Each structure stands twice: as C-alpha cells, then as structure tokens.
Amino acid sequence: MSHAGMIECREVAMTMTTGNSMRRARLTLAAFATAVLGASLLVPPAYARPGPAPEPVKAPVAEGYGGAVATVDLDASKVAVEVLRRGGNAIDAAVAAAATLGVTEPYSAGLAGGGFLVYYDAERRKVFTIDGREKAPAAMTETSLQENGAAIPFDEAVTSGLSAGVPGSVAQWELALRRFGTLSLKQALRPAAEVAERGFTVDQTFHDQTAANAARFKDISSTAALFLPGGAPPPVGSTFRNPDLARTYRELGRRGPSWLYGGRLGEEVVATVKRPPVAPGATRNVRPGLMSLDDLRAYRAVERPPAKVGYRGLDVYGMAPPSSGGSTVGEALNIIDALPDPGLHEYLEASRLAFADRGKYVGDPRYVDVPLRELLSDGFAKERACLVGERAMPHPAAPGSPDGDYAPCAATPPPSSPEAGPAKEGPETTHLVVADRWGNVVAYNITIESTGGNGIVVPGRGFLLNNELTDFTFGPAPGDPNLPAPGKRPRSSMAPTLVFDDGRPVLAVGSPGGSTIITTVLQILVNRYEFGMPLPEALAAPRATQRNTAQTQAEQGFLNRYGAELTALGHQFAPIAEIGAATALEFLGGGKVQAVAEPVRRGGGSALVVAPAK
C-alpha cells in the first residue's frame, strides 16, 4: 500500500476508535455476527486495512458479503462501498453516497435539497428515521403561492426563488453522522469533493436531463455557465467537472453546517433566492423568494418515530409525516392484507383508496392533526377493503373516516367524492440503500424536487437550489392539510422502506418519482411478497401507478401484459414512458446480501457489495 493510502486508512481507523463509535462498532459486530447471522458470516476483520479492490463495474444486481449498496449511479455506489470497505458503517456510506449524488446526479440531489432517511441500528435493534425535509420560510403564508385569488401557474413556480425551501440535507447529514455514524462531515464529504474535482463521464441520462432543462437553464446566468458549457448540454462521453462544488464541499467540511445555517454560504443562498441571477435579455418571470438567514439559522433536522404496519407476518417501517410515504404505503399494504387472494386489480384499488386518504389527512404534523395511528390500523384497513369489489370502483374514491369506529362492510358508504386527484408531480428525486457488515441498514430518499430543482445555481458554488415548496397545495383549497404556512414542511411522497421478519431486517427499498414513489414501493413489495418474484424481477417488472386518478398511468410493458385483463374489470389506462428508478437490497440468509438497482429505467443503476459471492 502506498504511504498516502496508509495515512488515509489510519484516519478512518482513528475516527472509529473515538467515544461510543468504537464500542458500538465492536459490540454490534459481535452481537450481529453471532446472534443474528451465525458463524457462517464472511466478515472482514473490523479494522483491517482493505486489500486491493477489483475495479467495480456498473451492474444492476450484486450479491455478496460484508456490506452492500445500490444507487442510481456507479460513482456514488463506488464511494459508498469504499467507505464500507475501509470500516465505515451504513450511515457513513449513505451520507458519502448522497453527497456524491449531489455531484453526479445534481438535478435530483444536492446540499441545498432535503430528504428522509430510515435506519435500522443493529446494536440497538431499533428503527430510527431522520426528517431532513425542506421548510417554508417564516414569511410564507397560506396564499404565498397564489396571485389574485388563484394559484400561480405551476410552471412559473417551478423556476423561481419563491419555491425554494429552507434546505435540510446538510443538517440531516450532520445529525445522522453524529447520532449513528463514525465519520465526521468533513470525512464524509471528501470523496464527493474528489469526484466533483476529477469529474465524471456524461451518460445519456445526464445529457437528456440537461437538454430537457436547457430552456430554463439558459435564462439563469450561473446555471447556464455550469450546466450549458459553450451554450449546449455536455456531450455524452465527455467529462463533467464541477470545481466550484468541490471547493464548496471542502469548505463546508472545514467550517461545518453553520457555514450554511447562518454563515457566509447561507448569505449567498439567501441572496440568490431573493435576487435570482436572471440572464440579460431573458423574459422569464422568475419570482423572488422569501427565505432569510434567520430561516436558515432556525432549521433543524428531526428524528421521528417511524410509521409501521404488519403485513403478511412481516413488519414494514417507513417514513412518517410530513412524508405521506409511510402512511400511504402502509395503509395500502394493510388493505391488501385484508383482501383474499390479492392480485394487480387489488393492488390498484388499495392504492386508489390510500391516496384518497393521503389527500385528505396527511400534512406536516406540527401544523395538522394527522390520524396516523388510525390510518395504519387494521380496523380502518378492513373498512376500506370492503370497498374493493370485482370491478374498478368509481372515480374518484372518497376518503374514509379513520376515527376508530369502523363499520361492517354492508354499512360502508359508496365510494365517490368530489375530491381532486393528486397534484402534478414529475419523475424527480433519487434513492439509495446501504447495509454494512454489522447489519445496520439505510434506506434514503434525497431530492431537490423537480429534475433540476428550481433551475438556479448559487453563483460560484456549483449547486442548484431546490423547488420543494411546489410540493405544497397552492390553493385556494380550504381545509387542505398541505397548504403553505410559516415554517411548515411540504407533504412529501418519499418512501424509504425497511421490512423485518421476526425482528430481523430482510429487505430495504425505495424510489424516486414524486407521488409515484409510493406506488413503485408498493408494487415492488406486492411483486415480492404476493407474487413471489425474486427482488431483481420485482424491480424490473413493468409498473402501473393508481393515485386516485381517473386513469391509471402504466408503462407499455404493463399494458401489453395486463392491460386487456384489467380494462375488462373497468380500469382505464394512460401510457407513460417510465415509472420510478428504484434501489433495494435483500438479506438472503447466511450473511449474504443481494443489492438491486434498475436494469433499464433512467439508464440503469449500480449495485455493489464489499465481498462478492464467488
């Protein structure tokens, strides 16, 4: 090993021996290996210097031992698996991968975004979640996304300072590392800074996403300078470098989160939100935003109890509000569990009903009394399951009454209501999974909302701002739980999910895709546990998404296979090119883990393991 390599290894080892981390890592290793996995677990020694690793290649499935990761991107997966190889844990690897996705997937993730992280701590045998959701500024009110008593045009809100939420990712990274990690933020950001400096190879997906955004990017000087070099999207095969972002990550590592949450970087974010750098001659109406430095100072990532349901004898843990991911996936699973012999028709109907309830009841729990316990109760699920007949129910399904007083089937009211369907949402966001050698598991959704966020790069800093506040209901919509308010978190659909059998983690899954995140996660679980598909097949299978809309959007492969049969049951379909870009992992027994990414969607993802099975 080179001298430089040795120094790097020692630095990680020293970090691991500080305070509780060392105790935790050692205890966890011993407890997990003996109590959970048995003697057959192939575990590299906890603090050994890693041997030379074979150069990882991009593949959607990997099986092996000692830790596993799946992301949408080879560079991010490589960073995560290297952190694991060098003795870091799942949280360290997840944060390092998330920061790297901010480089290589800058239109889906970044330090000015937010996310939800679900974490199983093997030593404590407990699931934790961390909410790093963006917040509305204190100056935002119920009517801030309206003009003259009507919603401002959605497309105009998308590219604006007004839609930029107070970012949560950096606070979330810091909290996750402090509570559960072994690396410092500086160490966790280092690989991402190196990727930003060295550059990555532009693939078709990055090229296409840039091209799809080119019209608005060229209207913002700082964005055009970074993402349209020479006035056009970087060609496929070229190397894309982001030295500004490399410097930003390094300075953030040195100065810590307060550099953003109240310091110089925060001042620059606020200045950019308030006076977006519109290119000379651009005619786009880029509305200024409301964020202040005090909003940044006040931001906190929050640990929350997970949302949990029992399903087919398993325990499914997800993200509680302000995400609707855990409540909606959980309610739909409960409904499916209450039905005899569920198939795709029941999957669509359960999802329709759960989305009706999501729309009526779920918002930021600090502002809205979300009846989460009842939404996830078996009694409510049984009442809702009564509405699932042999044919598709009339559209739209009405929300139910999760009030603890549940009627037998015959007394259930008919399923129809003037409730609106879900708001416009796109294919944005990203998701990653990590498991480490100790049995800790992370499912982590990160986002800047639209693909390309609000389209505004902070000048000289190399990252886009989010437009997460477009996840609010714009209104007017009296009584809607997701209207904006000062400091409120917009309702999310992100659904990082962990599945347990008899207290042991068996599967982790999640996806991007706006509100289709919920149906993608649900469909993968249905594919795996109702239809018995192996996990790679459960991810690759063609998808359909029913979100209490008149038509169910479906990929062509789904329509080819199941369209006629389901249309005969009264379902109506609209084709859509692609739904989601999931990542998942499953524990196969004997310590073997299978990491899984998409084989095709969004250009395919990257699964890696520390020690591949022979």
Q: Pick between residue 77 and residue 324 the one whose CB is nearest to ligand GLY.
A: 324
What residues does 335 pair with on adjacent strands? none
Q: Pick between residue 73 and residue 449 the one whose CB is nearest to ligand GLY.
A: 449
Annotated binding-site ranges: 133, 471, 492-493, 514
Q: Pick between residue 188 and residue 433 the one whose CB is nearest to ligand GLY.
A: 433
Q: Rounded CA gap, 228 and 238, in Å? A: 13
Please, what is the minimum distance in Å from the beta carbon of residue 399 to ligand GLY? Answer: 20
143-151, 347-355, 487-495, 597-605 -> range binding ligand GLY (CB under 6 A): 487-495
Q: Pick between residue 89 and residue 430 the one whose CB is nearest to ligand GLY.
A: 430
Peptide bond preceding 476 in cis form (omega within 30 of 0): yes
By the rule CB under 6 A, 210 interacts with ligand GLY: no
Q: Do residues 126 and 504 make contact, with C-beta atoms less than 8 angstroms apart?
A: no
- Taking CA atoms, 464 is separated from 220, 433, 457, 461, 490, in Å, by 11, 24, 4, 9, 19
Structure tokens at 70: 């799946």
By the rule CB under 6 A, 449 interacts with ligand GLY: yes
117-125, 150-158, 436-444, 490-498 -> range binding ligand GLY (CB under 6 A): 490-498
By the rule CB under 6 A, 163 interacts with ligand GLY: no
Q: Pick between residue 173 and residue 562 the one whose CB is nearest to ligand GLY.
A: 173
Catalytic residue (one of 429, 447, 473, 549): 429
Annotated binding-site ranges for L-glutamate: 133, 471, 492-493, 514
The values of phi and psi at residue 56, to 5°, are: -65, 145
147-155, 158-166, 257-265, 488-496 -> range binding ligand GLY (CB under 6 A): 488-496
Coil, strand or helix: which one is 323? strand
From 559, 403, 433, select the one nearest 496 (Cα to Cα).
433
- Show Cβ contacts of residue 137 under 8 Å, excluding neighbours closer than 6 positions: 166, 289, 290, 291, 292, 295, 486, 487
Q: Considering only residues 505-534, where is the footprint of ligand GLY by CB under 6 A?
A: 514, 517
Amino acid letter, residue 12: V
- Show Cβ contacts of residue 38 under 8 Å, excluding neighbours closer than 6 positions: 590, 591
Q: Which of 73, 346, 357, 471 binds ligand GLY (CB under 6 A)?
A: 471
222-230, 305-313, 492-500, 549-557 -> range binding ligand GLY (CB under 6 A): 492-500
| DSSP one-letter code for 563 | I
Please, what is the minimum distance in Å from the beta carbon of residue 171 to ligand GLY? Answer: 17
By the rule CB under 6 A, 493 interacts with ligand GLY: yes
Please, what is the minimum distance in Å from the beta carbon of residue 571 to ligand GLY? Answer: 25
Q: Which of 494, 576, 581, 593 binds ligand GLY (CB under 6 A)?
A: 494
Q: Pick between residue 100 and residue 445 the one whose CB is nearest to ligand GLY.
A: 445
- Show Cβ contacts of residue 338 under 8 Å, excluding neighbours closer than 6 positions: 378, 381, 382, 384, 385
Q: If binding means CB under 6 A, how many residues of this protein chain bind ligand GLY?
A: 11
By the rule CB under 6 A, 492 interacts with ligand GLY: yes
Q: Is 545 a catalytic residue?
A: no
| DSSP one-letter code for 471 | G
Please, what is the minimum distance in Å from the beta carbon of residue 513 to ligand GLY? Answer: 8
Contacts 24+ apart (CB under 8 A), 78-83: 78/606, 78/608, 79/191, 79/192, 79/195, 80/432, 80/434, 80/608, 81/56, 81/608, 81/609, 81/610, 82/53, 82/191, 83/183, 83/188, 83/191
Q: Which of 429, 440, 473, 545 binds ligand GLY (CB under 6 A)?
A: 429
Q: State which residue has the least CB distance to ligand GLY.
A: 492
Q: Pick between residue 242 and residue 466 the one whose CB is nearest to ligand GLY.
A: 466
Q: Which of 447, 451, 546, 606 binds ligand GLY (CB under 6 A)?
A: 447
What residues does 166 pair with on adjacent strands? 135
591 dihedral zone (left: phi>0; alpha: psi -120 to 50; beta): left
Please, what is the minimum distance in Å from the beta carbon of residue 516 to ligand GLY? Answer: 9
93-101, 160-168, 184-192, 489-497 -> range binding ligand GLY (CB under 6 A): 489-497
What residues does 554 pair with on adjacent strands? 544, 575
The residues annotated as belonging to the active site are 429
State the residues that interact with ligand GLY by CB under 6 A.
Answer: 428-429, 447, 449, 468, 471, 492-494, 514, 517
